[in-house]
Amino acid sequence: MTETAAGTEQLTHDLVLPYLNHAIRMYAEGYASREDIDAAMRFGCGYPVGPLTAVEELGLERARDLLAAQYAATGDELHKPAPLLEQRVQAGATTLAAADEGEAVAEPQLRHEISSVGVVGTGTMAAGIVEVFAKAGFDVVFVGRSQEKLDGVVAGIAKSLDRAIAKGRSTEEAKSEVLGRLTGVTGREALADVDLVVEAIAEDLAVKTELFSDLDRICKQGAILATTTSSLPITTLARTTSRPEWVIGMHFFNPAPVMKLVEVVTTEATSSEVDETTRALCGQLGKVAVSCGDRAGFIVNALLFPYLNDSVKAVESGRADMETVDAAVKEHVNLPLGPFELLDVVGNDVSLAIQKELHAEFKHDGFAPAAMLEQVVAEGRLGRKTKRGFHDYA
């Protein structure tokens, strides 16, 4: 191996190993199952394997030694090998799972009937969710601020269906059936009889709490109230209602018709039957549901964004340039996008907001947003959506 190749491999280890370490801690504390952690990163980020499988493929002892060396060099607690990793190495194990794990889990069942669905919002995520439900055979009432926005949702879905027809994946008859299931309205009162409402409006806590209070007034008893928030506390939304046991998170990934993952997020008050129904419903939608609790970042963002933030810090420090970092992780761990490419796809403003939430939640200095990330956002270089981010797309 050349000196340059060895250097980029070490750089990759230094960026990826803390992500793997964080995943081990997440698993050890029981926040999410091994299967759900791995599935979340595979289906949410397109990674070839999940982080816990990646640790085992690398070798537990080698992962422990690499992390220990990184910790010795940095003194950062995030680099200290997770206690579970250390324990499994000392036990001579080759897997992270305990011997009594791996029992089959029953498939979730619908404990509440879901035939009609409401969606609040007309943005990209909301429109995608409307399309997902309608294509799965559900009647969908969607709420927007104006007829123009409602018409835009229908036009976007029609265009998506036309693309599928052109590729031989659908028919004009199927298109007519899907569009026939859509009802666009400007008033929330039309949600009175739906079985499930999915909220996909602005990522603003005050706006969302007002909505949930209103949904509590409008929706029938027995209706599930779901939010697709990626960063705000679902518990706070639930508390604005008289039925917190019926409130749950359904974090779809963008674009919703394409991305397979849904993080199903429960609060301490969420009913187990509501949780099971939501997971079963995801299966009916052709999605992969993973379960987790209500805290900042859920699974994917909590694991992904500290790694992206560390990548920015590596460039800040002068250790490597952006092109080298992007190329290194794609070459050495076969990730579909380099960290700076991914930041630009997500949106640097969104990435900064999520990193701030993680820093506030976990209160670790290592999670403080990189100054360079704050700078590109301040300069309006938000990524692909503005044609400039860390890279230039003009």
Q: 354: exposed, middle or buried (C-beta count within 10 Å: 0-12, 13-18, 19+)?
A: buried
Angle between helices 339-346 and 300-316 (to 10 degrees): 120
**Cβ atoms of 267 and 235 closer than 8 Å:** yes
- Which residues pair with residue 290 across a beta bridge? 263
Distance CA 297, CA 25 (A): 15
Distance CA 141, CA 5 (A): 55
Which DSSP string do the residues of 336-368 spell out, in sequence order? SS-HHHHHHHH-HHHHHHHHHHHHHHH--GGGS
Strands across the sheet with 261-266, in order? 182-185, 139-143, 116-120, 196-199, 224-227, 247-252, 261-266, 288-293
Q: Is 195 helix (H, G, I), strand (E, B) or coil?
A: coil
Note if 251 is an active site residue. Answer: yes
Note if 3 is an active site residue. Answer: no
Q: What is the DSSP-derived secondary structure letter of residue 285?
A: T
User: Among residues 112, 251, 291, 309, which one is catalytic?
Assistant: 251
**Cβ atoms of 113 and 195 closer than 8 Å:** yes
Note if 332 is an active site residue. Answer: no
Distance CA 191, CA 214 (A): 11
Spatial CA neighbour of 117 closest among 133, 97, 103 = 133
User: Among residues 131, 263, 341, 357, which one is catalytic?
Assistant: 263
Count other C-beta atoms under 10 Å from residue 106's C-beta. Answer: 6
Distance CA 360, CA 33 (A): 24
Note if 331 is an active site residue. Answer: no
**Cβ atoms of 263 and 240 closer than 8 Å:** no
User: Among residues 301, 311, 348, 351, which one is catalytic?
Assistant: 301
Contacts of 221 (CB under 8 A, 6+ apart): 243
Angle between helices 371-378 and 300-316 (to 10 degrees): 90
User: Among residues 116, 230, 231, 291, which one is catalytic?
Assistant: 230
| Torsion sign (Cα): 78, 83, 86, 89 | negative
Q: 231: left (phi > 0), else alpha (psi -120 to 50), else beta?
A: alpha
What are the residue numbers of the active site? Answer: 230, 251, 263, 301
